[in-house]
Amino acid sequence: MNFCDNCGSKLEENSKFCDNCGVAIEDSVNENLDSQNNSDNVQNNSDNSKKRKPFGIWKFIVIGIVVVALIVCAVAYVVFQKSVIPALKADSAKEMADKLSSYGLPVKVVKKVSPLKKGDLVEVKGVKEGEKVDRSRKVTVVESLGPGVPEGVNKMSLNKALKVLKSMKVPVKVHKAIATKPGKIVGSYPMPGNPIIEHSERVINVLVGSEGRGVPADLYGMDSNKAKDILSKYGFKNISLVPKLSSRKNIGKIIGSNPSLGSQTNSDTVTLYFGAGVDKKMFIREDKDFDGSTVYLAENPDPFDGLWCTNSGDCLDFVSKIKYPGTNFKMVELHGSHERDYLNLRKADNVASFEGLGLNNELNMCVTNQTFMGCDLNPALGEKSWMKNHLIFGDTGAVELYRGGFEEFCGNSMFDSITGYSCVGGKIDKNYENEEENKKNPEYNHKMSFRMADFYVIFPVGADLKKLEADGYFQGVGKHEPDMNRPFILRRDPKLYKKTQINIPPKDVYSMPNPFIPTRESKPVKFAPAPDDDNAYYLVEKPFDMSKLPIEN
């Protein structure tokens, strides 16, 4: 039903004009319809606009869900895809680990002592040959450390322990050791969990407790104060506690003694060594200067004493000893496979006969000379100290040990300028009477140089390796950080340097510092290689002296 837009009267069907006011009906209706349609279109457009906005947001949400779902499906496909385990045979544990890793399996490598040689595959845990497994399956590859003492042996009965140890297919020696628990296993060497050191005697030593008067072997690993109390009850009157470098687990615990652990003694005096980490005082010797004042000297290298080995079996055998009888001056000698390294480093034609200050096989922590100056650590000296560029003068806890203080080279011969010899054109003149005449020679002090020699840095537990790295002490950065729970030594490798010899201009002979060692004027060349678990020489902890413990028949 239609109505007139002009007067509102009811219109008859098919009417052309309004019967009441006479207005044409078609125009009015069309205008009305057009107006209505326009209004509807505007409303529809507005509604559509409002509806399209939510649709756009949902479109992105749906796309995001689809993408995430695809990623999850892809990951699930990789993770849950089945792999068939190949034959569990390989020439080495590394080869097996690489093979299993290539199948997408997460592989963990653990090392343990076994009769097999070092690096061999002992077993694979977590999978079986021919088994179908998904890639989330955890797999453990057990690598052999070589023959040694398994963990837990010291808690076994002697018969059971001997059976386990003999399975290592190396000789086993049983030693008697004084102990608080006679008849029990009180120690071993190697220590439990450790292999026999390569290039050493291929034998396992086990200690069985026995009665007698001596330092009980089972004090090893005991709290230092508790051990001291036990010795007091055993009748020892003079007991001293001395710190010695150790692994973190042994800090504060007994790691040795003098007389040695397990040995018999009639003495009332015992020194107990307890494990210690960073402690600068361990490297310092106190003395009196000519005016009676106390001086602190970097002349106690005892912490370096012992056997230090890399994971691959290369070892450094350091022996700390008194340099001159009747004095407190100590130095370190290097023994073992690296004992003659300085011969190869120096390549001097007179190295076998060189006297100088007796530095052929002598390592020190400072530039030794005939006074206190070279080794004086007195903080009051500050910038005047000869030690100011040594690590021991800082706060990282690391300490350097090196060969060569005042040594220079004259031509191809080792030369020590403080002895009074002259260097003329690369030749040494040992006649003191010629010195003044030699000074007039245009070749005087010509063809002199410094050559790189042995250089080591020790890191007790607690040393700040990160700070040294940040300070630029090393060339580059290692791939795997050394085990900071064990004391270790780094050895400088001359093969990693472009120059191992620096010529000395004649005018600078008496002023130029040796660039290869720390001096009052300068720091040494950057150390190479960078610290790495593969090149760190770790302390081999040996609490027992087997030569002092009798073997059971």
The reply to whether 37 and 161 lie within a common domain is no
Query: Helical H runs in 81-184?
Result: 93-101, 158-166
The continuous run of DSSP H or E covering 316 comes out as strand 315-322
In a domain, 173, yes or no: yes
In a domain, 14, yes or no: no
The reply to whether 415 and 324 lie within a common domain is yes
In a domain, 22, yes or no: no
Q: Which residue in the block uniquely carries the two structure tokens 């040990």?
A: 401
CATH of the domain at 223: 3.30.10.20
Q: Is the dihedral of CA 271, 276, 281, 282 positive or negative?
A: positive
Given 96, 126, 144, which residue is the final one in a domain? 144
The reply to whether 354 and 451 lie within a common domain is yes
The reply to whether 266 and 333 lie within a common domain is no
Tens-binned pLDDT, residue by residue, of the chain (553 aa)? 566 665 656 666 666 656 655 555 554 444 443 444 444 443 444 444 444 445 567 666 767 777 777 776 555 555 455 677 778 888 899 999 998 888 888 899 999 999 999 999 999 998 888 888 887 788 999 999 999 999 999 889 999 999 999 999 999 999 999 999 899 999 999 999 999 987 778 999 999 999 999 999 999 999 999 999 999 998 999 999 999 999 999 999 999 999 999 999 999 999 999 999 999 999 998 888 777 788 888 889 999 999 999 998 899 999 998 877 887 888 898 888 777 666 666 666 655 544 444 445 688 898 865 455 678 887 666 667 888 899 999 999 999 999 866 578 899 888 876 666 889 999 988 888 888 899 999 999 999 999 898 999 999 999 999 999 999 999 999 999 999 999 999 999 999 999 999 999 999 988 899 999 998 889 999 999 999 999 999 999 999 999 999 998 6
Q: Where does residue 373 fall: left (phi above 0), alpha (psi -120 to 50 degrees), or beta otherwise? A: alpha
Look up the domain containing 49 and give its range: 27-81
The reply to whether 160 and 221 lie within a common domain is yes
Given 55, 81, 107, which residue is the final one in a domain? 81
Q: Is the dihedral of CA 204, 209, 213, 218 positive or negative?
A: positive
268 in Cβ contact with 238 (< 8 Å): yes
The continuous run of DSSP H or E covering 27 comes out as helix 25-80
The reply to whether 162 and 270 lie within a common domain is yes
In a domain, 7, yes or no: no
Structural domains of the chain, count: 4
How far is Cα 380 from Cα 324, in angstroms, rounded to an integer?
A: 29
17 burial type by CB count under 10 A (0-12 exposed, 13-18 middle, 19+ buried): middle
Amino acid at 256: G
542 in Cβ contact with 190 (< 8 Å): no
The reply to whether 320 and 217 lie within a common domain is no
Tokens of 528: 């190479």
What DSSP letter does each residue of 407-429 carry, written as one string?
A: EEEETTEEEEGGGT-EEETTEEE
Tell me the β-bridge partners of 335.
317
The reply to whether 384 and 484 lie within a common domain is yes
The reply to whether 287 and 433 lie within a common domain is yes
Q: Residue 105, SS3?
A: coil
Q: Name the pTM for this structure.
A: 0.79
In a domain, 17, yes or no: no
Give me the long-range contacts of 301-306 (CB less than 8 A, separation at least 24): 301/330, 301/331, 301/332, 301/363, 301/364, 301/365, 301/401, 302/244, 302/330, 303/244, 303/245, 303/399, 303/458, 303/460, 304/332, 304/363, 304/401, 304/456, 304/458, 304/489, 305/332, 306/539, 306/540, 306/542
The reply to whether 339 and 409 lie within a common domain is yes
How far is Cα 457 from Cα 491, in angstroms, rounded to an integer?
A: 7
In a domain, 289, yes or no: yes
Given 94, 122, 144, which residue is the final one in a domain? 144
How far is Cα 212 from Cα 179, in angstroms, rounded to an integer?
A: 8
**CA 66 vs CA 62, 70, 214, 237: distances in Å:** 6, 6, 78, 81
In a domain, 435, yes or no: yes
In a domain, 267, yes or no: yes
Q: Is the dihedral of CA 237, 243, 245, 250 positive or negative?
A: positive
Calculate the dihedral angle through the C-alpha atoms of 458, 463, 466, 467, rounding to the nearest 10 degrees: -100
How far is Cα 69 from Cα 81, in angstroms, rounded to an integer?
A: 17
The reply to whether 138 and 193 lie within a common domain is no
Q: Is the dihedral of CA 262, 207, 156, 275 positive or negative?
A: positive
The reply to whether 122 and 269 lie within a common domain is no
**CA 533 vs CA 147, 172, 220: distances in Å:** 22, 31, 27
15 burial type by CB count under 10 A (0-12 exposed, 13-18 middle, 19+ buried): middle
Vertex 352, ends 346 and 356: CA angle to 5°? Answer: 80
Nearest to 448 by CA among 431, 478, 428: 428
* Bridging pattern class, strands 238-245 and 269-276: parallel
